């Protein structure tokens, strides 16, 4: 391989990149979202300035992606927090637990998604939609929602999925020095809603040191949504540079 060819490598290993250089489109991407009230001080401890908290709510989400261009079929799960930045309402992505190596690597290296390994599941158990997260052998979260109770209008469902996403991108150099510290913004586009419902829901979180979802105890459940859509991820853009 010539020196001038190195910059054309998408990712290592050079003979089998961990993720492909493709425009990733998601078909039949399925969401289970549970929005609930939690401890305000815990939220303040993890939301970085200049983002502003807009309340004491947090969203637990499980997402099934059965048909993703270049990435195949996988699931992810985690916490997102409603915030405001320069007057715009969005969500700060705190944690994402994913069962696909290519999605973890590309999500972290190319974008700013806070992904690490976990084993989410999303399935129908008779009349109940069930979402779970296991971290290796231990259960971390279990959510249940009544199946297809109340339809959500298409425009509202698009707004839920298309909420701006704020993330923290951190990279360090060979001596441990911080070389990138940025707040980024991305937004899902090309949304085609196929089904959308809300209904009654419950959520249990279990203490785990490496998957600390239970640090945000479940208070009153404010909303639960089940949405299926085709869509495309928007690329991240730098909004704030902490090193300046």
Catalytic annotation, residues:
115
CA dist 138 → 15, 111, 115, 119, 221 (Å): 35, 29, 18, 10, 24
DSSP state of 177: -
Sign of CA dihedral 92, 190, 35, 104: negative
Long-range contacts of 154-161 (CB under 8 A, 24+ apart): 154/193, 154/196, 156/196, 157/193, 157/196, 157/225, 157/227, 157/229, 158/191, 158/193, 158/229, 160/33, 160/225, 160/227, 161/31, 161/188, 161/191, 161/193, 161/227, 161/229, 161/231
Identify the DSSP state of 20: -
CA atoms within 13 Å, Cβ hemisphere of 110? 20
């Amino acid at each position: 391989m010539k020196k001038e060819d190195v910059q054309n490598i998408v990712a290592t290993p050079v003979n089998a990149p961990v993720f492909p250089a493709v425009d990733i489109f998601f078909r039949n991407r399925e969401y289970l979202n549970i929005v609930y009230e939690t401890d305000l001080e815990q939220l303040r401890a993890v939301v970085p300035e200049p983002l502003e908290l807009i309340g004491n709510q947090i969203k637990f989400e499980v997402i099934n992606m059965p048909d993703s261009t270049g990435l195949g079929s996988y699931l992810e799960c985690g916490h997102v927090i409603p915030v405001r930045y320069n007057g715009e309402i969005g969500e700060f992505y705190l944690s994402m637990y994913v069962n696909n190596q290519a999605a973890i690597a590309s999500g972290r290296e190319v974008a700013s998604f806070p992904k690490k390994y976990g084993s989410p599941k999303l399935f129908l158990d008779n009349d109940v939609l069930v979402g779970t997260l296991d971290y290796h052998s231990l259960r971390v979260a279990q959510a249940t929602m009544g199946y297809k109770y109340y339809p959500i209008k298409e425009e509202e469902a698009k707004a839920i999925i298309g909420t701006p996403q704020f993330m923290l991108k951190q990279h360090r150099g060979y001596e441990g020095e911080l070389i990138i510290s940025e707040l980024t913004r991305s937004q899902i586009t090309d949304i085609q809603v196929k089904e959308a419902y809300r209904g009654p829901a419950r959520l249990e979180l279990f203490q785990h040191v490496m998957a600390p979802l239970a640090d945000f105890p479940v208070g009153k459940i404010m909303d639960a949504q089940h949405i299926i859509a085709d869509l495309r991820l928007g690329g991240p853009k730098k909004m704030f540079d902490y090193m300046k």
